[in-house]
Structure 1
Amino acid sequence: SHVATAGGAVASVVLAILVHGFGLHNRVLGYALLLMTAVMFVGAVFVYRRRLNPPARLSKGPWMRLPKSLMAFSASFFLVTLPVAGILPEHFGGWVLVAILGLGVLWGVSELFFGMTWGGP
């Protein structure tokens, strides 16, 4: 579960920077990003399930919400990438969908990147 989550996260971040940051709207990169966000989401679900009844050795506290941040990050980037991959029309959903997914991306990214530097999510 940790390998899928971490591997999917690293690959998703690199691909998201290429696809959405640099605007390389390539169908192959879009499908690769969809695959990696799906892998990350599945890994995050397994991490979440493990934390439902955590063993004593598992860190608790603020780290208990990390799987939710990982799922928000991966699900939001998955949905944002569907038009790039050609699965949905380019302007699907309009500004309402952009705002909702933007909040999901912001939540996931802020906890992943800022939380790591502050010692917790």
Structure 2
Amino acid sequence: MQYLEVIGAIFVLLGSFFLLTASIGLLRMPDVFNRIQAGTKASTLGTLLVLLGIGFTHPGWWGRLLIIAVFILITVPVSNHIIARAAYHHSQEKGRFFRDDLGSPAEKAKEETP
């Protein structure tokens, strides 16, 4: 049983590292879109690794941890998509995008006509 606790501790430590890098990325990235990227990818991976480590240290909790992992995998992309859309629509930097699929239909019509 000792080896499962060591494996679990390694996963928790690795997940903590990814959570730390996600928090540093949130502070260091220049704009909201890069911050969303850093926060989403690293924090999701870090949280899942921590849950995996807890699963190794407490084998009776696998069912609960699986439900939490599925919930995280469903809600994090959806919530970050909503945050990105809101940031786009309230951003002053719309001109820096090469292609604008989120613009209004009137703006798209102006862009398409020569």
TM-score with structure 2 setting the length = 0.48
TM-score with structure 1 setting the length = 0.46
* Larger Rg belongs to: 2
